[in-house]
A = this chain, B = another copy of it.
């Protein structure tokens, strides 16, 4: 089962301006082969299909716990996409104004026009070219080494994609998403390396970082390194998945390129940051053309619920 908390894993700064093409670039980290839907999809189905869960508990729980974190990553990138595609909050006439003068003419020239026409700039599981995420991106074989090795490769590939998106985007929102995901992705790559090392003896973590650039070169990672995020793995559970401490274990150290310190497992989830309030755009019929009445109804229902 899964529970939900109405927070993002971190708080995202607002974008400076509406930038649908940057939002579209960010989609690569959501619906691309090496995007968060893929890390989520792989670990989620691997955890469902895991054999001999009890006998292999630390390995099962590693995949299961990271699944929960990836859900939050999908959420985080999605918010980043929607925020950058829509730009800073604006006041709009509550009735939507005159819609007959081509108010959204610019939208025909954005790279992924359907993101506006169909989704009003919202996020969907597609890549930066608009191609859908799908089952082809999932590997769940039931063979532990094969799956873990796939996951290690996936996190390394994801790091490369995050780096390239980071180099492409200027909006603070998008850069913050990249910076945070780079740190957390590095943790996952490290964790899968340790899992494989425990079984095979191969010191995969020595391949890290791939690509060969330290997180310290990226200002947006710095704050997370400073607070030790690169050394922490969360159980993302009220009570379960604690045996991941057998792998992400006491005694194991941070990677040489990163600030030093012992790896640690944190029970539960990080504190998180507030969900962004995406403003309505009545002229785009979000939440609708003249939403005032709807707001009143909602307000009444809210009061009823207290």
Give the complex CA separation of A61 and B4 in angstroms. 11
Q: Report which of B119, B129, B198, B211 forms a contact with A285, defined as CB distance below 8 A.
A: B211
Taking CB atoms and an 8 Å cut-off, the chain A residues in 108-144 that contact chain B are: 108-109, 111-144
Give the complex CA separation of A51 and B160 in angstroms. 16
Tell whether, in the assembled complex, residue B6 and residue A3 are in contact, meaning their CB atoms are under 8 Å apart: no
Tell whether, in the assembled complex, residue B68 and residue A25 are in contact, meaning their CB atoms are under 8 Å apart: no
Tell whether, in the assembled complex, residue B277 and residue A54 are in contact, meaning their CB atoms are under 8 Å apart: yes
Q: Count the copies.
A: 6
Give the Cβ gap from A225 to chain B, nearest Cβ, in Å: 14
Give the complex CA separation of A113 and B26 in angstroms. 10
Give the Cβ gap from A95 to chain B, nearest Cβ, in Å: 9
With A149-B153, A211-B289 known as contacts, the answer to whether A165 contacts B117 (CB < 8 A) is: yes
- 25 A-B pairs within 8 Å (CB atoms) are namely A1-B4, A3-B5, A3-B236, A4-B237, A5-B238, A6-B241, A22-B108, A24-B113, A33-B136, A44-B74, A58-B302, A113-B168, A114-B129, A116-B164, A120-B141, A126-B135, A139-B157, A143-B160, A149-B152, A150-B153, A163-B285, A199-B294, A213-B285, A246-B304, A249-B304
Give the Cβ gap from A164 to chain B, nearest Cβ, in Å: 5
Q: Report which of B31, B59, B152, B295 forms a contact with A135, defined as CB distance below 8 A.
A: B31
Which B residues lie within 8 Å of A105 (CB)? 167-170
Does A185 make an interface contact (CB < 8 A)? no
Indicate with 1 or 0, residue by residue over A59-78, a CB within 8 angstroms of chain B CB atoms: 10100110110011011001
Give the complex CA separation of A181 and B295 in angstroms. 30
Give the complex CA separation of A239 and B153 in angstroms. 34
Q: Report which of B2, B168, B246 forms a contact with A5, defined as CB distance below 8 A.
A: B2
Which B residues lie within 8 Å of A249 (CB)? 301, 304-305
Tell whether, in the assembled complex, residue A146 and residue B118 are in contact, meaning their CB atoms are under 8 Å apart: no
Does A45 make an interface contact (CB < 8 A)? yes
